[in-house]
Amino acid sequence: MVDNPNEAPSEALVSKIVSMPELVVEYEETKGLESIEEPEKVAGLAEDAAPQPDATLEDEEEGKAAYRPGVYHPVYIGDIFNDRYKVLNKIGYGRYSTVWLVKDLQATVDGDASNVYRALKVLRADCYGHGTDTFEREILRCLRDGSREHPGYPYVCHLIDDFEHQGPNGTHVCFIFELMGETLRSFGTWFLLDGKIPYEIMLRFAIQLVLALWYAHDHDVIHTDIKPNNIFVKFCDYSFIESGYLKEIPVPQQDREETEYRPVPSQPLRWFYFDNRAKYSPDFDITLGDWGVSSWTTKHLTEVIQPVLLRAPEVIIGAPWDASTDWWNFGAVLLEVFRAVRMFDGGVPPDGHYETREHLIEIIDFFGPFPKKLLEKGNQDLVRDLFDDEGRIKDAEPSEGPGLMSETITTGMGQSLREAFVSFMNLLMKIDPEERPSALDLLRHPFLGAIQ
């Protein structure tokens, strides 16, 4: 770890970080392309790990009511899927799937547990075949079968296998993935920095996310849902599955004769994927996962995308959007995971409920007025109601909020790091999507310094 985490890393550390982006230079030239409290449990490879508000011990996680025709498949420990994958425990769940630790019964056992243990994601029956199909399977296949020479390929959570499973509630599309340790939603809690990920690790993660999005966009895919719990930390040591997880984590008791299926609690792999004595090592890697609501550049799954507070300006006002929306989304997430600060709130008194108007005021306070040419492409009823002739919000109070250069937002940073970070954010988060940078622009920026 560097002596001062608020300043530039040491030369030795830079050499480790820049070893990935050196591949970027080679690719560009040859292809010619112009925190320690126990955290809440998170769902590995599932869409939304937030606990259900009405969940109880009797109504675990996704809830008993969701086990009905067209929705979730009842999975039991010991089930074998596709004549190959044996279920060992539940490791996550989301609005559209449950996720299970499985053992590949056809894997070659040669002491390398990475080939033996996988994650099984079982989609709800209504994800396919009901007229509103997600593009997830097709996009995952495209990303897996794309250019392995691309520097972003290793930082996408790739599909290993897919198949369909027939159950009492319908036909379920199933995915097999490489196991992941946890998501950035909880990763920061390993460090004694108020939940902030150390600079040298965050820099590495930021570079890897840029590479992952570059790869996706080069393959005509827009993620549309970049948030901390869709960014996964890779396994560092698979031996902990057998030596730790399978020995220490209890297997849930289930009754196959029950008349009503009872969901079981998730037991994430968070504590069993690296030696926490080495948590300050800069050698962690991440992948961008959960492509369940992703779109093609040529065909959108839906026009209303992204987590509300991470939503790009063009999406908020109902204007057309493209792959550049991912860059805005990435910028807002970067501040959240790097500094444990949410850039936007959108809350209004007295109860703090969200309002679009307030969100737009916050965006303008940080990044300036909306350009006329963008407003002309948006929902004209909304534009006339909210915006004045200068691209600002009508009757908005003068800004009293802190700017990006303030200690409140970029807390704990030294001056040189703060200036580089704010410059990077201003480049990344252009209100006009046509002005947003390319992946190479970002990799060349001094904050990342990935291409020298």
For the segment 147-169, the average pLDDT, to the nearest whole number, is 97
Predicted confidence (pLDDT) per residue in 145-155, tens digit? 999 999 999 99
DSSP of 298-339, one letter per residue? SS-S-SS-S-GGG--HHHHTT----TTHHHHHHHHHHHHHHH
Strands 117-123 vs 170-178: parallel, antiparallel or unpaired: antiparallel
The pLDDT score that the predictor gives to residue 3 is 36
Contacts of 73 (CB under 8 A, 6+ apart): 98, 122, 124, 125, 165, 167, 168, 169, 170, 172
Among the ranges given (2-16, 166-180, 216-230), the one the predictor scored with the smallest mean pLDDT: 2-16
Predicted confidence (pLDDT) per residue in 336-370, tens digit? 888 888 899 999 999 999 999 999 999 999 999 99
The pLDDT score that the predictor gives to residue 157 is 96
- For the cut 70, the answer to whether the pLDDT of residue 51 exceeds it is no
Asked if 182 and 229 count as a contact pair (C-beta separation under 8 A), the reply is no
- For the cut 80, the answer to whether the pLDDT of residue 372 exceeds it is yes
430 carries a ligand binding annotation: no
Q: Does residue 8 sit in helix, strand or coil?
A: coil
- For the cut 50, the answer to whether the pLDDT of residue 226 exceeds it is yes
Asked if 182 and 240 count as a contact pair (C-beta separation under 8 A), the reply is no
Predicted confidence (pLDDT) per residue in 239-278, tens digit? 999 999 999 999 999 999 998 999 999 999 999 999 988 7
The pLDDT score that the predictor gives to residue 49 is 35
The pLDDT score that the predictor gives to residue 22 is 38
The pLDDT score that the predictor gives to residue 45 is 41
For the segment 22-51, the average pLDDT, to the nearest whole number, is 34
The pLDDT score that the predictor gives to residue 197 is 87
For the segment 121-149, the average pLDDT, to the nearest whole number, is 92
Q: What letter would DSSP give residue 146?
A: S
The model's pTM: 0.86
The pLDDT score that the predictor gives to residue 6 is 36
| 197 compared with 320, residue with greater pLDDT | 320
- For the cut 70, the answer to whether the pLDDT of residue 97 exceeds it is yes
The listed range with the strongest mean pLDDT (24-33, 317-326, 346-355) is 317-326
Asked if 224 and 288 count as a contact pair (C-beta separation under 8 A), the reply is no
Alpha-carbon distance of 447 to 445, in angstroms, equals 5
Instruction: Tokens 């869409």: give the residue.
Output: 47
User: Euclidean distance between the first and final Cα of the chain, in Å?
Assistant: 22
The pLDDT score that the predictor gives to residue 359 is 96
- For the cut 90, the answer to whether the pLDDT of residue 303 exceeds it is yes
Strands 97-104 vs 353-354: parallel, antiparallel or unpaired: unpaired
Q: In DSSP terms, which residues pair with 163 in a beta bridge? A: 174
- For the cut 80, the answer to whether the pLDDT of residue 15 exceeds it is no
- For the cut 80, the answer to whether the pLDDT of residue 323 exceeds it is yes
Average model confidence (pLDDT) across the chain: 86
Predicted confidence (pLDDT) per residue in 395-442, tens digit? 998 777 778 888 888 887 889 999 999 999 999 999 999 999 999 999
The pLDDT score that the predictor gives to residue 59 is 54
Asked if 77 and 89 count as a contact pair (C-beta separation under 8 A), the reply is yes
Kindly state the tokens that stand for 425. Answer: 């954010």
DSSP of 84-130, one letter per residue? TEEEEEEEEE-SSEEEEEEEETTS--SS-GGGTEEEEEEE-GGGSSS
For the segment 35-47, the average pLDDT, to the nearest whole number, is 33
The pLDDT score that the predictor gives to residue 131 is 76
- For the cut 80, the answer to whether the pLDDT of residue 40 exceeds it is no
Asked if 292 and 47 count as a contact pair (C-beta separation under 8 A), the reply is yes
Asked if 412 and 340 count as a contact pair (C-beta separation under 8 A), the reply is no
Q: How far is CA 367 from CA 242, 399, 403, in A?
A: 50, 12, 10
